[in-house]
Amino acid sequence: MKTYYDKFNGRDVYLYTIKSDMVEVDICELGARINSIRVNGVDIALGFDSVEGYLESGSYAGSTIGRVANRIADSRFFLNGKLYYVSANEGKHHLHGGIRGFDKRLFFVISYSSNSVCMQYISENGEEGYPGKLDFTVKFTVKDSELLVEYSALSDRDTLWCPTNHTYFNLNGEDSGDCRDDILQLNADSYTPTDDTLIPTGDVLPIEGTPFDFLKEKPIIADFKNPALRATNGYDHNFIANSNNMAFAYSNKTGIGFRVSSDMPCFQLYTGGAIKPCKGKSRQYGAWSGFCIEPQYCPNAINLKKFDKPIICADKRYEHYIKYTFGISG
């Protein structure tokens, strides 16, 4: 189903509803974003009823992130011996694609069916400082209990590319308030510590004996009083994935749970500590209204020696995926 949503820069914006017997998802053309995920009739994704709501919140809720997810230190990088400067939108650093990243771009729908929608955006050479004209598509497909997000990119020059999705989940329902009693398990033995601007130091540390240890499931809130989480008002940290099966979460209240898998090497756990008070679809949102699991390359990987680089070569198509598998217990 295609439904009128709002206007953006004078253009009509639509929602596309895709569904299976178990899962129903609304995808918005602005930012190719997930506006709602309904499992057994419960909406578990934070979102807004207007374009203005998304833009004013500054939360990236549900959006496709690009060209590069997370941070690039000092908004610069070397590629093929040349220094590039990208737009600084978090102090001196570059975050989630810059001032007008993919979250603020209108995508073009190239195919749509009852269970799938594919959207395209052409990012011009030099946009936000990145080299190369990038032909980018993202396809959302619902089948049985799964939501599969498939990314594809082709550039005419060597460039950087690290997409992700920024959906905030609250498994008690997006209208329920605090998400921190959701239960979480992460398949990661290590994480990357950061400086006070959330740029990784380049070290990789074990999670054992730290508040970052989610190898055994526990409530998100379990270690919130630990001083290591004070600066970020909760979690906003990158983990090194042990395998493609990255995370599992569930709610004791609704019985709804989901698994996240991806071919990315890392993922960010963000528990929404910086969400500003704002009117969401069903209630006022604020800090900890939802949490994100964002598959990605290590933040600032292009400027760090130890990590895989999100570099794609000219005239070669690249692909990544994120898969969410939902379930209901009880």
How many domains are contained in the chain?
1
222: part of which helix (H) or strand (E)?
Answer: none
Q: What is the pLDDT of residue 330?
A: 61
Is the omega angle on the peptide bond into residue 67 within 30 degrees of 0, that is, cis?
A: yes
70 is in an annotated binding site: yes
Is 93 annotated in the active site?
Answer: no
Identify the residue whose tokens are 């526990």.
218
CA distance to 20, 64, 211, 291, per residue, from 54 (Å): 27, 13, 31, 17
Task: In whole angstroms, give the CA distance from residue 50 to residue 61.
Answer: 12
DSSP 131-147: -S-EEEEEEEEEETTEE
List all residues 6 or more positions away from 285 whose beta carbon is below 8 Å from its beta carbon. Answer: 46, 57, 59, 275, 277, 278, 279
According to the model, what pLDDT value does residue 153 have?
98
Q: Residue type at 309?
A: K
Task: Report the distance separating Cα 280 and Cα 47, nearest Å.
Answer: 6
Task: Note down the domain range covering 121.
Answer: 2-328
Comparing CA positions, the residue from 136, 138, 146, 152 lying closest to residue 16 is 138
168 appears as a binding residue in the annotation? yes
Residue type (1 letter), 89:
N
Measured in whole angstroms, the distance separating CA 200 from the mean position of its chain's CA atoms is: 18
- What integer pLDDT is reported at residue 329 of this predicted model? 83
Q: What is the CATH number of the domain that holds 163?
A: 2.70.98.10
Asked whether residue 93 is marked as a ligand-binding residue, the answer is no
How far apart, in whole angstroms, are the C-alpha atoms of residue 42 and residue 172?
8
Catalytic (active site) residue 166: yes
CA atoms of 81 and 96, how far apart (whole Å): 24
Q: Identify the residue whose tokens are 């999100």.
A: 310
Nearest to 194 by CA among 205, 185, 184: 205
* Catalytic annotation, pick one of 24, 237, 294, 320: 294
List the structure tokens of 243.
């395998």
Q: Which H/E stretch holds residue 256?
A: strand 256-262
The catalytic residue among 93, 166, 237, 320 is: 166
Q: Residue holding tokens 């004996």?
A: 209
DSSP code of residue 272: -
In the DSSP assignment, the letter for residue 196 is: T
State the alpha helices, DSSP H only, in the chain: 51-57
**CB-CB contact of 250 with 182 (8 Å):** yes
* Tens digits of pLDDT across the chain (330 residues): 999 999 999 999 999 999 999 999 999 999 999 999 999 999 999 999 999 999 999 999 999 999 999 999 999 999 999 999 999 999 999 999 999 999 999 999 999 999 999 999 999 999 999 999 999 999 999 999 999 999 999 999 999 999 999 999 999 999 999 999 999 999 999 999 999 999 999 999 999 999 999 999 999 999 999 999 999 999 999 999 999 999 999 999 999 999 999 999 999 999 999 999 999 999 999 999 999 999 999 999 999 999 999 999 999 999 999 999 999 986
Record the pTM: 0.97
- Write down the pLDDT at residue 55: 95
